[in-house]
């Protein structure tokens, strides 16, 4: 595929953009990465995603695809012959993967984000407790889905690994900010090991943002109130 | 192995309606079980421990949760007839996008229309109508959202129609005047057997919503 056939509108810091990038890397697809400037939205972004005006947007042969999980499924289906399958092959396993991906976005991510936006210690502690609870649920989900294999998807990273794994940089930033470890060998042993394997994967390693850079960006995005 | 399909559902749920329609589109025999949401069955709690919500699709003893996930599952398992998602990857992405739009935007907006009053309700009504207009514009002149064939987005949206009279009653507006093309699409969908059999009488839904509204908006 020609490079100019595939464009991705996004940002190095965005979890959701990262999902699309991992999928493109898994399939060895060359693409032009069009990075948005922080604080403004490009004309191309607004034109390609008029409904939500958000990144990521994948533009394939001038046709836009929006929403990270939808983009990942599109990449899997449009390039079936290249690289490994991203979605599991069995319909029931696909339903389970989709269920947990939705849970991650609708429930788990919301509570993680609440830690960064919390006003005061009480709110922060409540958010931390909720993330602990939901992480425990994901730990069990990992054990059920992986069935003893290294990833949610089995032997290779797949849809659900990408859905959760893309959060790992930000998750570390939140841990540092809250001074609280979630991905702990005692609290979430399977997830902790999975996280290491995920970050080491050749499709992930080159694009996982540096934690210090991300933490600096987080301070810009979630400024602390002046004391 | 015989195909045993059970659907745990609640009759006015626009989400449950999606799964009913999908099963009927595929000609799948299933056992419909009505749940009392104030007294959820042990089976429901066992099969959907995370959300404890309906609909729950139980296929040969294994649960599938979340209506859009159920519809895709049904399409993939019973792939021999009436495809629900298009075969082209780009068209599939578009279909998923619009179903996701409906879930992210329409549900919250419609909730404000019947469950609130005053300024909040007015704002909700405005949002709701705007969202319907966006959907109407996406439909355009096509017979169905996906084109010539009834499919995924139609299934995702059609159940909300049974709640329209309730919205109109409590927020004082007419969907027919706001989105006439969408109402024409509704009528076309209702001619489909899978839809006609899966949707409750809107009058009964309005009665149900009236009762429900009392809990949120005490008179």
pTM of the predicted model as reported, rounded to 2 decimal places = 0.96
Which pLDDT score, from 0 to 100, does residue B169 have? 95
In a domain, A227, yes or no: no
DSSP string, A26-44: HTT---EEEEPPTT---HH
A44 and A114: one domain? no
Domain boundary among A78, A111, A135: A78
**Going by C-beta distance under 8 Å and a sequence separation of 6 or more, which residues neighbour residue A165?**
A22, A157, A195, A198, A199, A204
Question: Is the ipTM reported for this complex over the cut 0.85?
Answer: yes
A173 and A205: one domain? yes
A51 and A129: one domain? no
Question: Which of B62, B70, B92 is opposite residue A77, by nearest beta carbon?
Answer: B92
Q: What percent of chain A has pLDDT over 90?
A: 91
User: d(Cα A38, Cα B96) in Å, to the nearest integer?
Assistant: 28
More confident residue, B19 or A227: B19
A205 and A108: one domain? yes
Domain boundary among A31, A51, A78: A78
Residue A76 clears pLDDT 50, i.e. is over it:
yes
In a domain, A85, yes or no: no
Element holding B64 (H helix, E strand): strand B62-65
A101 and A213: one domain? yes
Best residue in B52, B63, B71, B89 for a mutation probing chain A (most A CBs within 10 Å): B89
Range of the domain at A114: 91-221
A72 and A95: one domain? no
CA-angle at B114, arms to B111 and B119, nearest 5°: 90
User: d(Cα B191, Cα A178) in Å, to the nearest integer?
Assistant: 56
Hey, which residues 70-129 in chain B have their CB within 8 Å of chain A?
A: 70, 72-73, 76-77, 89-90, 92-93, 96-97, 100-101
A70 and A118: one domain? no
3-state DSSP assignment of residue B46? helix
Count of structural domains, chain A: 2
Chain B residue whose CA is closest to A67: B97
Domain boundary among A28, A50, A78: A78
**CATH number, domain at A56?**
3.40.30.10
In a domain, A181, yes or no: yes
Which pLDDT score, from 0 to 100, does residue B3 have? 86
**CATH number, domain at A207?**
1.20.1050.10
pLDDT one-digit tens code per residue, B2-12: 789 999 999 99
A101 and A47: one domain? no
A74 and A97: one domain? no
A60 and A101: one domain? no
Which pLDDT score, from 0 to 100, does residue A227 have? 52
Q: What is the mean pLDDT of chain A?
A: 94
In a domain, A56, yes or no: yes
**A72 touching B, CB under 8 A?**
no
Two structure tokens written together for A76:
């899997």
Which pLDDT score, from 0 to 100, does residue A162 have? 98
Q: Which residues of chain B have pLDDT under 70?
A: 1
A144 and A178: one domain? yes
Chain A residue whose CA is closest to B86: A77
Model confidence at A223, pLDDT cuts 50, 70, 90, reads: confident
**A78 touching B, CB under 8 A?**
yes
Residue A170 clears pLDDT 60, i.e. is over it:
yes
User: d(Cα B219, Cα B217) in Å, to the nearest integer?
Assistant: 6
Residue A194 clears pLDDT 70, i.e. is over it:
yes
A61 and A144: one domain? no
**A71 touching B, CB under 8 A?**
yes
In a domain, A135, yes or no: yes
Model confidence at A1, pLDDT cuts 50, 70, 90, reads: very low
């Amino acid at each position: 595929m020609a490079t100019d056939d595939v464009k991705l509108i996004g940002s190095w810091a965005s979890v959701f953009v990262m999902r699309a990038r991992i999928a493109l890397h898994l399939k060895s697809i060359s693409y032009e990465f069009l990075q948005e400037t922080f604080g403004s939205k490009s004309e191309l972004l607004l034109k390609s995603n008029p409904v939500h005006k958000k990144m990521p947007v994948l533009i394939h042969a001038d046709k836009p695809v929006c929403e990270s999980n939808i983009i990942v499924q599109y990449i899997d289906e449009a390039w079936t012959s290249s690289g490994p399958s991203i979605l599991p092959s069995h319909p029931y396993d696909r339903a389970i993967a989709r269920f947990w991906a939705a849970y991650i976005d609708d429930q788990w991510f919301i509570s993680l984000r609440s830690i960064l936006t919390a006003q005061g210690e009480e709110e922060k502690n409540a958010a931390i407790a909720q993330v602990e609870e939901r992480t425990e649920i994901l730990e069990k989900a990992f054990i059920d889905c992986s069935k003893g294999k290294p990833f949610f998807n089995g032997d290779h990273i797949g849809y659900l690994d990408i859905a959760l794994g893309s959060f790992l940089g930000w998750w570390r930033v939140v841990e540092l900010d809250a001074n609280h470890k979630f991905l702990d060998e005692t609290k979430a042993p399977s997830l902790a090991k999975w996280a290491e394997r995920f970050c080491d994967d050749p499709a992930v390693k080159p694009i996982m943002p540096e934690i210090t850079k991300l933490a600096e960006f987080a301070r810009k995005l979630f400024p602390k109130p002046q004391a | 192995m015989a195909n045993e399909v059970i659907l745990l559902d609640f009759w006015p749920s626009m989400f449950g309606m999606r799964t009913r329609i999908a099963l009927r589109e595929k000609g799948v025999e299933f056992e419909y079980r009505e749940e009392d949401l104030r007294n959820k069955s042990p089976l429901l709690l066992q099969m959907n421990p995370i959300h404890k919500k309906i609909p729950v699709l139980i296929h040969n003893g294994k649960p599938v949760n979340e209506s859009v996930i159920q519809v895709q599952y049904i399409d993939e398992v019973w792939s021999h007839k009436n495809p629900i998602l298009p075969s082209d990857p780009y068209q599939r992405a578009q279909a998923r996008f619009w179903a996701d739009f409906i879930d992210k935007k329409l549900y919250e907006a419609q909730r404000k229309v019947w469950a609130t009053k005053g300024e909040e309700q007015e704002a909700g009504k405005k949002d709701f109508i705007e969202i319907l207009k966006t959907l109407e514009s996406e439909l355009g002149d096509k017979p169905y959202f996906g084109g010539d064939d009834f499919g995924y987005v139609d299934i995702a949206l059609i159940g909300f129609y049974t709640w329209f009279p309730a919205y109109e009653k409590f927020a004082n507006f007419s969907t027919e005047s706001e989105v006439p093309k969408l109402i024409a699409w509704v009528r076309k969908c209702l001619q489909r057997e899978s839809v006609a059999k899966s949707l409750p009488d809107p009058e009964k839904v309005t009665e149900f919503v009236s009762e429900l509204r009392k809990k949120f908006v005490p008179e």
